[in-house]
Structure 1
Amino acid sequence: MTAVPALAEILDTLRVVSLPLATRFRGVTRREAALFAGPEGWAEFSPFLEYAPDEAATWLRAAIDFAWNPQPEPRRDRIRVNATMPAVDAARVPEILARFDGCRTVKIKVAERGQVLADDIARVRAVREQLGPEGRIRVDANAGWNVDEAERALHALSEFDLEYAEQPCASVEELAEIRTRLADWDIPVAADESVRKADDPLAVARAGAADVLVVKAQPLGGARRALDIVERAGLPAVVSSAIDTSVGLAQGAHLAAALPELAHDCGLGTASLLAADVTGEPLSAESGAIPVRRVEPDPALLDRHAAPPERRAWWIERVGACHALLSS
């Protein structure tokens, strides 16, 4: 378990940024993140704003681990990444795909609140037309369907040759049911929220409810804990991110680099969804991959994108609340 440094050590270098997104994602147009430095370099603490301290504290533990400890030994120095397609109108698909250089895989958001299945079909069709038959398409519903809705939607989307469907339903029991219903359609099921937001991240594997695990360094408490979960689950893994800055993506890249096997492209190309970053050399996809390296923020960019004083104060209070939980 990572030792918890004094709160003053974290706050001494803490910078809070607010970065504009290139397109609306998860209902927001800006991404806030807290960054701080430790003996090993810079790390990111950026749980979504609605997360309470008991959940966000795990994200702080991951950031502390990345800033204070050497990471697991890498097995590769570049990570192939997928493009991420927000729940946009189909007409915007070419514009957004153009931001992801050389990516052969696209993860498409579906089941967006306020949209209908026809919107998802149009978006997925547009991506398939852009990629051609050799490209890989995966869809992510963020637990937005019940079992019957998922079955109907995924049957309708099956003509586009899906690599897998990520978190089509909310519960482990629902995932197991939809996986059974999809068996004859050859659409694997991937679990994300059922791993990173679960009290027991191995329950989905024990229940036979997924074919693939989606793991994220921050929500799982760092690379070592994520690697342990993957090993104990015995399932293929995809490393993903949560619209991190390039500092946060660096931690994800170190996790992906340490996995014994990495058969799928990873969701670590999301710097391309940011309209600004904290470094002049962001971890954006180049020829479909990102390098495994730490990222040093540019002081001028930290100043340019600094969050307003009231938002910095909010993040300082949040870090303190999470630190108190970790220290206890």
Structure 2
Amino acid sequence: MTPGLDDLLETARVVALPMTTRFRGVDVREALLFEGPEGWAEFSPFVEYADAEASAWLAAAADYAWNSQPAPLRDRIPVNATVPAADAAHVAEILERFPGCRTAKVKVADPGQQLSDDVARVRAVREALGPEGRIRIDANAAWNVDEAERALHALAEFDLEYAEQPCATVDELAELRTRIKYMGIPIAADESIRKSDDPLAVARAGAADLIVIKAPPLGGITHALQIVVAAGLPAVVSSALDTAVGLSQGAALAAALPHLDYDCGLGTGALFAQDVADLSPVDGAIPVGRVTPDAARLDRFSASAERTEWWLDRLRRCHALLAASAS
């Protein structure tokens, strides 16, 4: 049951956190935080998302703040370093922000860049991590099948752990998976899970070897766990450039998975110049547990009046959608 709008607005705070490196076109990450009976939660769908999609994020946040969550099976979550589509010369500096991480997720196929930029970036990551480090790439569905096959052939020499969402559609992923079978590079589905009306279609089609899940776009931890069980594939829990509050929800999801075979994408707090609380990787992992934002940081990084009202209006619209769907 969705809490009342007044309950959400009572403690709502909107923050604007500067980032150390531009990521996903974002230099300052905005998020709306609120507190419920179980603790703090985060509502932070990216600004370009329509209300219908963003409302699932609100349902997930309300669930996390108002309801108890599945029991954790572990108290620490190993996480990967995240390397934005930066120049290869900056890779070593970026990786230093993720102490102890044995895995790096590297953004590729960024608009305006070439495959040669991706190759140079991934090569720099391999040199920094050494032969035992694990490298996964994320194309955010930017390639068609031919482009993806060509790119993975060029990147195969760096011993990729997997390629995340190289193509946009389930059919493309299935075709690519067949084409590159000889390379031995697993395919992971992300957007095909969290942005789909049928998140199990990718599993039914045999289009992926593993799935990447995020609690907010899937409506919360319980629903995300149900998808993992139904898909029958290994899962990696990831974040959407969340604050420490949102990362704690991701850690709770990862802690509840029956099996955790891969490092999770929950170390992105290291990409902020400063967060509302401290939840960056230590010895390659983050702890499981709810996070309370620091009051002084909430004040220091409070968004402008205009941006605060924009987020509150969005909250009202998404709440109305949830209320209508429940009636």
TM-score (norm 2): 0.99
Aligned to 2:301: 305
Aligned to 1:50: 48
Aligned to 2:274: 276
Match of 1:292 among 288, 302, 305: 288
* Distance in 1, Cα, partners of 2:32 & 2:44: 6
* Distance in 2, Cα, partners of 1:122 & 1:39: 48
- Structure 1 regions of 5+ residues with no counterpart? none
Give the aligned length.
Answer: 324
Match of 2:13 among 12, 15, 19: 15
* Distance in 2, Cα, partners of 1:129 & 1:300: 40
Instruction: In structure 1, give the amino acid aligned to 2:308.
Output: R
Match of 1:176 among 174, 177, 192: 174
Residue 244 (structure 1) aligned with residue 242 (structure 2): yes
Match of 2:33 among 32, 35, 51: 35
* Distance in 1, Cα, partners of 2:214 & 2:235: 10
* Distance in 2, Cα, partners of 1:258 & 1:182: 33
* Distance in 2, Cα, partners of 1:168 & 1:83: 19
Aligned to 1:253: 251
Residue 83 (structure 1) aligned with residue 81 (structure 2): yes
Aligned pairs for 1:147-186 (under 5 A) are 147-186=145-184
Deviations 1:147-183 (A, max 9, x none): 0000000010000000000000000000001000111
* Distance in 2, Cα, partners of 1:119 & 1:323: 42
Cα distance, 1:316 vs structure 2: 0.5
Match of 1:74 among 72, 88, 93: 72
Aligned pairs for 1:154-233 (under 5 A) are 154-233=152-231
- Two-structure CA RMSD over aligned residues (Å): 0.4
* Distance in 2, Cα, partners of 1:44 & 1:172: 30
Helix, strand or coil: the match of 2:293?
Answer: coil
Aligned to 1:327: 323
* Distance in 2, Cα, partners of 1:95 & 1:200: 40
* Distance in 2, Cα, partners of 1:300 & 1:73: 31
- Structure 2 regions of 5+ residues with no counterpart? none
Helix, strand or coil: the match of 2:217?
Answer: coil
Deviations 1:234-259 (A, max 9, x none): 00000000110000000000000000
Cα distance, 1:128 vs structure 2: 0.1
* Distance in 1, Cα, partners of 2:69 & 2:23: 30
Aligned to 2:99: 101
Cα distance, 1:260 vs structure 2: 0.2
* Distance in 2, Cα, partners of 1:93 & 1:102: 15
Q: Provide runs of 4+ in structure 1 moved above 4 Å.
A: none
Identity score, percent = 70
* Distance in 2, Cα, partners of 1:326 & 1:85: 35
Cα distance, 1:321 vs structure 2: 0.4
Cα distance, 1:54 vs structure 2: 0.2
TM-score (norm 1): 0.98
Aligned to 1:126: 124
Cα distance, 1:61 vs structure 2: 0.3
Instruction: In structure 2, give the amino acid aligned to 1:317.
Output: D
